[in-house]
Amino acid sequence: MTTEPVPIAQRLLRSVLGGGFVYLGLWIVVHGTLALTSRGANGWDLLSLALVVAPQYVLVRQSRLDVPLRTAVALAVLTVAGGLAGLMSIAGIAQPDGYDAWFLGAVAFDLLALTVVGRFGTAWITMVLVVAACLGWAALGDRPIGIGAGIIVRHVATLAVGTALAASLRRSNAASAAFREVQRRRRTEEDVARARASARRSAVEQVLEQAGPMLRAIAEGRRMTAEDRRQMIVIEGALRDQIRTPRLNESDLRGVIDAARRRGVNVLLLDEAEEAGTDARRKAARWLAERLEQTAEGGFIGRLRDLEGGGVRASAVRGDQSEAEVFQ
């Protein structure tokens, strides 16, 4: 069994999700170092680190490029909590600089990961809350609002660029998936068509094998008896059935049809049940066989049609009488 290659866009998306635990380990080392070496490092830094690591850990473990809304909201809450804990860690710093506000970079990474899994709205609502928290931190600490805006503005820009990239990659991945689905469907249709053509060829060959002795008798100029003529009618009808209704020929109905034609019954079968389930088709064929066995002479028309849910509607017309039955 061959596996289809993973498109480049999908591989990129999955790599952005984390690249596995190697990425997560590096992420923790980098931000842990920043947390422990920042000016005035304290317990709030450690709490903030734990809170911002949690979303990364959850998203790294994702095997799909989407997460449920409930999970996304939970990760957003953790991210906001991590940002608030980080702001508490720099409450005593009048004007943070350098990597004092390291946690906001971690928050931006968490929100970028949410955009990669398609939760753009959740990511941006969370960013708005973090921005509000930064402005509130500045106001409550009697700092100029510009200081609060200054520590978060570049991370807003980072999220904007990352959102555009994630959206582009997801569109490319969706287009690639749609193209692969079209190819898969086309291959399936071609396989089905080849299988049907092969089945019909086999059916025709089987009928020709049955007709072989009769054709040789005609070629030899042998006198045709009444039994020979009936057999020729049976063979002609079987050939028509093999081409028109090959699936019905595989059922118990085949023998009943041949016997009816030998009695002189003119049998016509119509199989329009392309989507019928196996059980429904078997029951319908048995029902037609019972009706045909009851037909002593004249004409018989049997027909199968699809119903919703894999069912089939079978109908039988015998002379002036007609009846129908539904099978599921």
Residues 216-237 have pLDDT tens digits of 666 666 777 777 777 777 777 7
Question: How distant, in Å, are the alpha carbons of 225, 230, 270 from that of 218?
Answer: 11, 14, 31
pLDDT of residue 235: 74
Give the pLDDT score at 273.
Answer: 82
> What tens digit of pLDDT does each residue of 103-156 get?
999 999 999 999 988 899 999 999 999 999 999 999 999 999 999 999 999 999
Coil, strand or helix: which one is 313? strand
Using the predicted structure, report yes or no on whether residue 7 has a pLDDT greater than 70.
Answer: no
- Of the pLDDT bands very low, low, confident and very high (cuts 50, 70, 90), residue 18 is very low
Residue carrying structure tokens 């702001």? 87
* Residue from 80, 79, 86, 35 nearest 53 by CA: 79
Check whether 207 has a pLDDT greater than 70: no
Any bridge partners for residue 52, and if so which?
Answer: none
pLDDT digits (tens, 9 = 90+) for 264-293: 888 888 888 877 777 888 888 889 888 888
Q: H or E segment at 301?
A: strand 299-306
**Roughly what angle, to the nearest 10 degrees, separates helices 120-140 and 102-116?**
160
* Most confidently predicted of 70-79, 202-211, 253-262, 283-292: 70-79
Helices and strands, counts by H and E, the chain? 10, 4
pLDDT given for residue 160 in this prediction: 94
Question: How far from each other are the two terminal CA atoms of the chain, in whole angstroms?
Answer: 34
